[in-house]
Structure 1
């Protein structure tokens, strides 16, 4: 798929689900999130995760390829009073000094990367005993729920979309970090329900890789899709929506050599 999240930067900024406080509380068990730590957030987008850590007093750098998303991130920082340094770059070739960061995070983006190249870069920029953290927060399609029916509608417009049918679990990532020499590999997951109005769900879907960020769909296609989704919601899910989500988190330590 050809994806450009810059095409949907405004919807991305408004409607993507924020990472729950429970995630940061859990990460404290691994010594992640202490004031003064230096953190690099790969694929930062509009800074959803980076901002959470900056508000806790960490010194945060966010990296993303999209100028449009970084522009939104800076506006959100101004609204929230956070101070994050942003670098426009891909994650496979970081213009950053080596052994500089205590923590590298990659949230909602690892599947877009060339993992072999990115792992070499994270090893290079992490301090000794530094932590790499990979996070995903996924909606869950369950038989005939609003998620599964929304995914079916996306596929009717964009058959090349491959993001459907997920279960929020990523065992392949454990193999990737292990083969790259990372140590002390651990994971945790937890589920949560997120409430949406119809308009919020439509905005969230428009901000997704299968719709607004897909270069396969024209503006006309996207508008027709949105109208069909609006009709689907009004007909089959007339009340406010409760969408099941799953957080998956992998934590590991930089290779020893």
Structure 2
């Protein structure tokens, strides 16, 4: 309950619940995931895969292959509605990392994209283990803007100046038992984007959604000015991937 949380926890709770209000911008502005990253996270023989914290289905689209069932789990009503418009043939359920509405030992792989930093690992780790079959895999993935590119570094400075953009705690080190060692692999790639899509990407960040209107407009104005000056045609990313297998200790 929010009233029982610390101030820091309440802010995290508020930001985590903000995405539904920006589902359209999220769909337009957020990137997909490179095929090689998805192949590293999910084995070819996985037949039932859960997309946890599925958002508008950016990862779910990449997870679908013939003979595989993809099930989405997403807490936000607005996100689930957007997901169903984009992927009407994929089952999407209301749930969280701490409460996954699926039976025990029913899933081959569970992948969480851009969302593990929102969960409580003490509850989410055993819950992931509950729904996974023995030897099943937990995959965690984040698309991170490549700040080694100068204009992207400038964009990050604007976000930190105006919105105090947080440094996300991946919480990967808190996976632990009953999972085996966590492996990591990074993938560098670029996503073609218009200036409008970059604006949507910025507007869909939780820490931007929850800003006071005047501060948000100041931030978006500075981003527009940067894009007008640099006119980028793509966004460079580093996709951070982590995986661990259940019961292999």
TM range (shorter): 0.7 to 0.9
Match of 1:110 in 2: 116
Alignment map for 1:31-110 (pairs within 5 Å): 32-34=43-45, 37-78=47-88, 83-110=89-116
- Mark the CA change 1:255 to 1:185 in structure 2 (over 3 Å): closer, same or farther: same
Give aligned pairs, total.
235
1:234 maps onto 2:232 in alignment: no
- Residue in 1 that maps onto 2:190: 193
RMSD: 2.3
Residue in 2 that maps onto 1:177: 175
Q: 1:20-58 deviations in whole A, cap 9, x for unaligned?
A: 122233346xxx1447x1111111111111222224441
Aligned pair 1:202/2:199, yes or no?
Answer: yes
- Residue 123 of structure 1 corresponds to which residue in structure 2? 129
Q: Which residue is equivalent to 1:9?
A: 23
Distance in 2 between residues matched to 1:40 and 1:6, nearest whole Å: 20
Structure 2: tracts of 5 or more residues without a match: 1-10
Q: Secondary structure at the match of 2:73?
A: strand
CA contact (8 A) 1:99 1:126 kept: yes
User: Structure 1 residue 219: deviation in Å?
Assistant: 3.7
Which residue, 152, 160, 167 being the options, matches 2:157? Answer: 152
SS at match of 1:211: helix
Q: Which deviates more from structure 2 when the two are superposed, residues 102-111 or residues 89-98? A: 89-98
3-state SS in 2 of match to 1:183? coil
Write the distance in 1 (CA, Å) between the matches of 2:187 and 2:64.
Answer: 23
When structure 1 is superposed on structure 2, of 44-53 and 150-159 the one drifting more is 150-159
- The answer on whether the counterparts of 1:134 and 1:250 sit within 8 Å (CA) in structure 2 is yes
Q: Which deviations, in whole Å up to 9, do the C-alpha atoms of 1:129-167 show, x marking residues without a partner? A: 111111111112237x222222222233223x3148x9x
Give the Cα separation in 2 of the matches to 1:221 and 1:20: 34
State the alpha-carbon separation in 2 of the partners of residues 227 and 57 from structure 1: 47
Q: Which deviations, in whole Å up to 9, do the C-alpha atoms of 1:30-89 show, x marking residues without a partner?
A: xx1447x111111111111122222444111111110101111110114xxxx2111112
Calculate the TM-score normalised by the size of structure 2. Answer: 0.85
CA distance in 1, matches of 2:33, 2:134: 27
Distance 1:142 1:243 in 2: 12
Q: 1:24 matched to which residue of 2?
A: 38
Secondary structure of the corresponding residue to residue 52 of structure 1:
helix
CA contact (8 A) 1:33 1:56 kept: no
Question: In structure 1, what is the Cα distance between the partners aligned to 2:193 and 2:154?
Answer: 16
Deviations 1:87-121 (A, max 9, x none): 11221122321111111111111111111210010
- Residue matched to 2:239: 247
Which one of 211, 214, 221 corresponds to residue 215 of structure 2?
221
Residues 133, 223 of structure 1: alpha-carbon distance in 2 compared, 3 angstrom cutoff:
same
